[in-house]
Every structure is written in C-alpha cells, then in structure tokens.
Amino acid sequence: MRIYRTFTVIMCLKNKNSKRLESIKAAHQLTRTGSSSKMEDYLEVISELVELKGYATTIDISRYMNVSAPSVTKMLQKLDESGFLEYEKYHGINLTDKGNSLADGIRQKHSILLEFFELLGITRGIANQDVEGIEHYLNPKTIKQLRKFVTYLKSDPKILGGFQ
C-alpha cells in the first residue's frame, strides 16, 4: 500500500510539473505583436521626448536608453523599416501613426500598472522599476481587467483603506 501511495504522489507531482511545463511552452509559442520589448522601449522614449521637447535626437535617446549612439541609429533604422517612424540620418525623428499608436498603448499600460502598484502601497521608484520589467509582456485583456480593478478600488475608499 505504501508503494502505491508513493507512486501516486510521484505521478501527481509529475503531472503537475508537466502541466506547468506545457503552460510555459504555450506562453513562449505565442507570437508578439510584431515588435520587441526593446523596440517598444525606444518608441516610448521617443514619444516622451517629442512630447517634452518637440523633437527627439539620437543623442537624447542614447542618454535615456543608456546605450551607444550607434546602437540607437541601428534601432532607428529597424523602426523606420517596420513603419513605426520616419528617420533620416542627421535629421529629425518623427513617429508615424503606427508608431504613435503603439507608443500611446505602452504609455497607457505603464500608467495603469504604476497606479495599480501604488495602490498596493509600493513606492513609486520600485513600482516604476517593476512596471518597466513587465509592461511589454502583459496581454491587453489583462491590462483591461487591471484598469477596471483599479477603477473599482478607487471608487470606494473603504475598500482600499481596509487593505492598507
């Protein structure tokens, strides 16, 4: 009887691990929206710079992304080829409608996640670090539900007060 129980426990653990592995495999097989998280970071920075200064330069992007100017140039060429921006060396950088749309979506995700983490009592600095780490990987449906949840939490101060 003892051998049977041990075998049953092992099989349950193996089945549980197998399901987890299959889940990981499925998540990695999902195709992204055609842009990488690094590309999204560039678009986010460019969008912020344009909003702040009216324009973005390779040097500014290099400084904010903490990468070399040649790396920025290489990524700008990729973003241009993908239709996210218009780029001419030594001239201005302009986001296309496609680039603006993606950058706006990233900014919205960022603000929703930041607000959610701050509601949890996480300091803004830590929340910003965490958001930068996950904002590119969440499904839009997850973001939509988080937005609804944040709105719900903020609608009744008693709910939030009970948590904190």
Rounded to 5 degrees, φ, ψ at 146 are: -65, -40
Fold of the CATH domain 105-155: Diphtheria Toxin Repressor; domain 2 (1.10.60)
For the chain, residues classed under CATH 1.10.60.10 are 105-155
Report the chain's mean pLDDT, rounded to a whole number.
Answer: 83
Name the pairing type of β-strands 85-87 and 93-95. Answer: antiparallel
Residue 74 has pLDDT above 90, yes or no: yes
- Condensed to tens digits (0 to 9), the pLDDT of residues 8-66 reads 555 555 565 666 666 666 655 554 444 588 999 999 999 999 999 888 999 999 999 99
- Condensed to tens digits (0 to 9), the pLDDT of residues 116-136 reads 999 999 999 999 889 988 988
Of the options 3.40.30.10, 1.20.58.1030, 3.40.50.620, 1.10.10.10, the CATH number for the domain spanning 37-100:
1.10.10.10
Task: Say what the pTM is.
Answer: 0.71
For the chain, residues classed under CATH 1.10.10.10 are 37-100
CA–CA separation, 128 and 153 (whole Å): 20
